[in-house]
Amino acid sequence: MCSDRAEALVKQVGLAEELSRLARFSAVGVIATVVHIGVAMVAVAAAGVNPTVGAMIGFLSAFIVSYVGHFRFTFAASGRYRDYLVKFAVTSLASFLLSTTAVWLATTVLGVDYRLALFALAIIVPVCNYLVNRFWVFLQPGGGSSHPLEIVTPE
């Protein structure tokens, strides 16, 4: 009886930690988005660069903020920054290419309104990014994870 309660408590703590990690992931994402837009706007308005170049500069700035934020804050990864950088860059590039392709496919091939396509991506992409970052990019060396997610089913 006592061990059942202890096991239930451990599972609840695991869920609470996962939700906390998800909240940190969201906070880093919001900050990176603000940096992306802010840097792009400053680059265009103050430096006079082309808006496309401004968006690229903003993206690179946000990439750095996002990587450092997720490395240190969201996932509190052990090791050096470079240990996870290539996987994070691959994930970011894949996310960019897949979301761009999805918008093209939805709007051009399927005839979906671009706003609906962008709205759907605003939900789908962060969820996919969280899962890939959680279970691949920032997976601890040796295959372990800091706190694995457990799905608890009622008995």
Amino acid at 36: H
Nearest CA among 73, 75, 61 for reference residue 33:
61
Structural domain includes residue 155: no
Residue predicted with more confidence, 140 or 115: 115
Q: What pLDDT sits at residue 147?
A: 46
3-12, 28-37, 40-49, 98-107: the lowest-pLDDT one: 3-12
Q: In what helix (H) or strand (E) does residue 5 lie, and over which residues does it extend?
A: helix 2-45
Query: Does pTM top 0.85 for this prediction?
Result: no
Same domain, 47 and 109: no
Q: What pLDDT sits at residue 153?
A: 52
Residue with tokens 């601890």: 140
What CA dihedral angle connects 17, 20, 21 and 23, to 10 degrees?
A: 160
5-19, 48-62, 105-119, 141-155: the lowest-pLDDT one: 141-155
How many structural domains are present in the chain? Answer: 2
Residue predicted with more confidence, 7 or 105: 105
Is the Cα torsion angle 83, 73, 23, 14 positive or negative in sign?
positive
For Cα atoms 153, 70, 21, give the angle at the middle one, nearest 5 degrees. 25
Whether the Cβ atoms of residue 106 and residue 117 lie closer than 8 Å to each other: yes
The C-alpha atoms of residue 109 and residue 41 are separated, in whole angstroms, by 32
Picking from 48, 76, 104, the residue at the C-terminal end of a domain is 76
Whether the Cβ atoms of residue 74 and residue 25 lie closer than 8 Å to each other: yes
* Average pLDDT rounded to a whole number, residues 29-53: 94
Structural domain includes residue 72: yes
Same domain, 43 and 66: yes
Nearest CA among 106, 86, 103, 98 for reference residue 127:
98
- For residue 135, the enclosing domain spans 79-143
